[in-house]
Amino acid sequence: MTIDRREAAVALADIDNVVRRVRQSRVYRIASLMLMLWGPLTAIGYVVSWAWPRYAGYGWIAIDLIGVAGSYAISVRSRTGDGPHRFDGRMFAALVLFFGFGLLWSVGIAHFTPRQLGAFWPIYFMLVYTIAGLWLGIAFVAIGLGITALTLVGYFFTGPWFELWMAVVNGGGLLLGGFWMRRN
C-alpha cells in the first residue's frame, strides 16, 4: 500500500494538528494549576488590604512568597522527560526586568497610592497574559482582557469597596480562568 504526495501531506498536517493540540492542552493544564493557586491567594491579599490596610504590604509579601513556592512546586511536579525544562538565565532576566519595571513605575517614578497600586499590578500582569495568549491560546487573552476591564470598572466606580471588588474580580477571575483552562 502506497500513498501519494497529497495523502502524505494531509496525514502530516493531521499529525501536526494533534501535536499542537496536545502541546496547548499541556500548557493549559499547568497554567490552570497556577491560576487555581494564585486566584485564592490574590483574593486573600485584597481582603487583607481592605480589613487591615496598615499590614497590607506585609500581607502581600507573605502571599507572594507562598505563591512563588507553590508555583515552583507545581512546575517541578509537572515536569516530564520530553524536553528542556530549566529555569535558565533568560527566564531569570525576564522576571527581573518584569518586576523591576513594575517597581520602577509603581514606587520609583509614579509613587502610586494604595488604590492605584491595587489597579496597576493586576493590569500589568494581565498585559503579560494577553500577550502570551497570542501564542498560547485564546483563554489567556480572554482572562487578561476580562480582568483588566473589570479592574478599571472597579477602580473608577467602586469607591471604598475597591479591594473587595478586586478580591472577587482578580482572585475570582484567576480561579475561574483556571477551571476554564482545565476544561480545554
Name the DSSP letter for residue 81. Answer: S
Helix (H/G/I), strand (E/B), else coil: 112: coil
Q: What is the pTM of this model?
A: 0.82
Q: Could you give the count of Cα atoms lying within 13 Å of 116 in the half-sphere of its Cβ?
A: 9
Mean pLDDT value of segment 79-106? 75
By the 8 A CB rule, do 95 and 75 touch?
no
8 band by pLDDT with thresholds 50, 70 and 90: confident
Q: What's the pLDDT at 85? A: 54
Spatial separation of the C-alpha atoms in residues 141 and 46, rounded to whole Å = 23
By the 8 A CB rule, do 103 and 38 touch?
no
Quick check: 45 pLDDT over 80?
A: yes
Mean pLDDT value of segment 112-123? 93
90 band by pLDDT with thresholds 50, 70 and 90: confident
Mean pLDDT value of segment 55-75? 90
Count CB atoms within 10 A of the CB of residue 168.
14
Quick check: 130 pLDDT over 70?
A: yes
Q: pLDDT by residue (tens digit) across 139-164?
A: 889 999 999 999 999 999 999 999 99
